[in-house]
Structure formats: C-alpha cells, structure tokens
C-alpha cells in the first residue's frame, strides 16, 4: 500500500489524474462535502476530484454510466452540482472545474461502461 506524503502549504504538484498543476491550499476537513481539500500526494485537481465523485457515488454514477457528460453540459444540472458543493461547504469553486474536460471524461466513462468495463 502506498503511503501518503503530507505536503506543505503552497506546494505545487501535478494532478495524478490529468497532470494539471495543483497548489496545496489547506487541509482535509470532515465538514467539507462532497469533496474536501487534500494536503497529500494523493490529492486530485478539482476536475478529477469531481469526476471521481460523480462516477463513484450512487445514484449519480448510474446516470453518468448511461448519459456520460451530457448532464454536466446542461446549465441547470451544473447549477445543482454547484449548489450541492456550496451547501456542503466544499472548498472547490465552480471556476476551478474545467466543465468541458469533466463532460469529456464522463463521456469516456459511459463508453467504457457500454463496452462492459467498469
Ligand atoms: Zn486532474
């Protein structure tokens, strides 16, 4: 099992999911949902973290498997996700998410599922 390395504030790392540059800005908190900050080498950028949550959390993940990124391309659905993050005290702002990259990633996930993958 890989051990997480705790990083100092301001450390710049490459997201393990997409390679995007990320800056460590805070510590994880149980009060932040559905996503929280990370201060370890296991942290993800906002787009990858949101994609991971959307593809692993029922019942949302079921919708993603069938409709890919179509949902997050719809403004009213995107607004609901943003509201959910705001209500959950999530430290990620809508501006930090690359919504088109997120939609493309969810499209690929749906395509994998259609081929019989996970
Ligand atoms: Zn990423």
pLDDT at 1: 57
How many Å lie between the centroid of ligand 1 and the Cα of residue 19? 6
Q: Which residue has the higher pLDDT, 32 or 2?
A: 32
How many Å lie between the centroid of ligand 1 and the Cα of residue 35? 14
How many Å lie between the centroid of ligand 1 and the Cα of residue 31? 23
- The DSSP secondary-structure symbol of 101 reads H
Helix or strand run (H / E) with residue 46: helix 46-56
Q: For residue range 8-47, what is the model confidence (pLDDT) as tens digits? A: 999 999 999 999 999 998 889 999 999 999 999 888 999 9
Sign of CA dihedral 49, 52, 55, 57: negative
pLDDT at 118: 59
How many Å lie between the centroid of ligand 1 and the Cα of residue 49? 7
What's the pLDDT band for 2 if we cut at 50, 70, 90? low
Is the pTM higher than 0.85? The answer reads yes
How many Å lie between the centroid of ligand 1 and the Cα of residue 115? 24
How many Å lie between the centroid of ligand 1 and the Cα of residue 50? 9
DSSP for 48-104, written as a single string: HHHHHHHHHSTTHHHHHHHHTTHHHHSHHHHHHHHHHHHHTT-S--GGGS-HHHHHH
Q: What is the maximum span of the chain, computed from C-alpha positions, in angstroms?
A: 42
Q: How many CB atoms lie within 10 A of CB 82?
A: 15
How many Å lie between the centroid of ligand 1 and the Cα of residue 52? 10
Q: For residue range 57-115, what is the model confidence (pLDDT) as tens digits? A: 999 999 999 999 999 999 999 999 999 999 999 999 999 999 999 999 999 999 999 99
């Amino acid at each position: 099992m890989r051990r997480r390395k705790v990083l100092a504030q301001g450390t710049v790392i490459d997201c393990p999911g997409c390679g995007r540059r990320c800056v460590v800005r805070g510590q994880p908190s149980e009060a932040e949902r559905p996503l929280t900050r990370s201060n370890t080498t296991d942290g993800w950028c906002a787009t990858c973290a949101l994609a991971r949550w959307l593809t692993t959390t029922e019942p949302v993940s079921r919708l993603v498997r069938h409709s890919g990124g179509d949902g997050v391309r719809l403004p009213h659905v995107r607004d609901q996700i943003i509201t959910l993050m705001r209500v959950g005290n999530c430290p990620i702002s809508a501006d930090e998410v690359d919504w088109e990259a997120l939609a493309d990633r969810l499209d690929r996930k749906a395509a994998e599922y259609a081929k019989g993958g996970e």
